[in-house]
Amino acid sequence: MIPLDTLMLFIVTTFVIVLSPGPAAITVTAEAASNGFKRSTLIIAGIAAANVVFFGLSATGISALIIASSTLFSIIKWIGVLYLLYLGFGAIFSNAGPLSISASNKGRAAIHKTFLRGFILELSNSKALLYFSALLPQFIDISRPIAPQLITLCLITVLLDLFCYSLYAYLGYKSLRMSIKPFIIKWINRTTGCMLVFAGLKMATVEK
């Protein structure tokens, strides 16, 4: 088992990181404002699933290999940068962009697409890769069985993802329930898009 003080430090650290506004939080909020709270849970599930993959990579040591390879790290980083810029400029210049405040079509294909949006967004986040590769090992006691510790920390991270991003989704959903004038919707789209573009540009400066 993980010592209680180490476990609490991990919970607090991860909670602060997850709760901090970022591309994932922006996307979840915008999706809830566009299509309701229920639809935004698909993006949240995608983000959580990507973090499970990160834990799997950390457990097998692949993430350390990615960090060690400048080429692999750069590929992942620039995929994330381009994806954020795509989402951001799509919201800024198109009324029907990915983050536009308007109801989208529903169906199995739309559900899968929404889930994948969250999954790809988090999986291509180079900062998340750095977190799981550099910070996560600090909470692992190599003198104890590794697998139970990773499973415990993974479950905690998933629960924190679900809780924190659900808060953002609720805020977005509440904005949907309010009577929002067209010019405010346009301002929200443009502001959200600019924030995603800014996040993409900041991600481009991340070094391993």
Point out the least confidently predicted range of 95-109, 134-148, 176-190.
95-109
102 CB neighbour count, 10 Å cutoff: 12
Higher pLDDT, 163 or 3: 163
Q: Does the pLDDT at position 128 exceed 70?
A: yes
Q: What's the pLDDT score for residue 179?
A: 56
Tens-place pLDDT, residues 48-67: 999 999 888 877 776 666 66
Distances (CA, A) of 162 to 2, 39, 49, 100, 153: 22, 14, 11, 23, 14
Tell me which residue has tokens 């990507």. Answer: 50
Q: Does the pLDDT at position 99 exceed 60?
A: no
Instruction: Compute and round to an integer the Cα radius of gyration of the chain.
Output: 18
Q: Give 159's pLDDT tier (boundaries 50, 70, 90).
A: very high
Chain CA centroid to CA 151, Å: 20
Q: What's the pLDDT score for residue 96?
A: 44
CB 42 within 8 A of CB 115: yes
Q: What's the pLDDT score for residue 165?
A: 94
Handedness of CA 21, 58, 142, 157 (dihedral sign): positive
Distances (CA, A) of 155 to 1, 49, 135, 149: 14, 11, 17, 10
Q: What's the pLDDT score for residue 48?
A: 94
Q: What's the pLDDT score for residue 43?
A: 93
Q: How far apart are CA 84 and CA 90, in angstroms?
A: 10
Higher pLDDT, 109 or 88: 88
What DSSP character marks residue 102?
S
Q: Give 156's pLDDT tier (boundaries 50, 70, 90).
A: very high
Flag whether the pTM goes above 0.85.
no
